[in-house]
């Protein structure tokens, strides 16, 4: 099990970024390499948002999670 190191506000912001990245993809506004970049970033952010673990935070021993989160 991965240790959680992302707090609630951080997860919320990541979720909003995911929505901001996926809306242009779904509406057909972006295409080509930019489409793949947006989808890839959304998947990575979605993984960290759903699991509560960010590999970059883990590498630097950083956490935005409070004790009561």
Tens of pLDDT, residue by residue over 5-59, are 999 999 999 999 999 999 999 999 999 999 999 999 999 999 999 999 999 999 9
From 57, 47, 50, select the one nearest 5 (Cα to Cα).
57
pLDDT for 66 beyond 90: no
Q: Give the contacts of 45 (CB within 8 A, at least 6 positions apart).
A: 14, 17, 18, 21
pLDDT for 2 beyond 80: yes
């Amino acid at each position: 099990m991965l240790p959680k190191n992302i707090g609630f506000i951080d997860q919320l912001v990541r979720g909003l970024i995911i929505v901001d990245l996926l809306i242009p993809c779904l509406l057909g506004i972006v295409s080509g390499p930019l489409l793949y970049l947006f989808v890839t970033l959304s998947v990575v952010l979605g993984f960290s948002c759903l699991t509560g673990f960010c590999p970059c935070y883990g590498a630097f021993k950083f956490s935005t999670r409070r004790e009561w989160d």
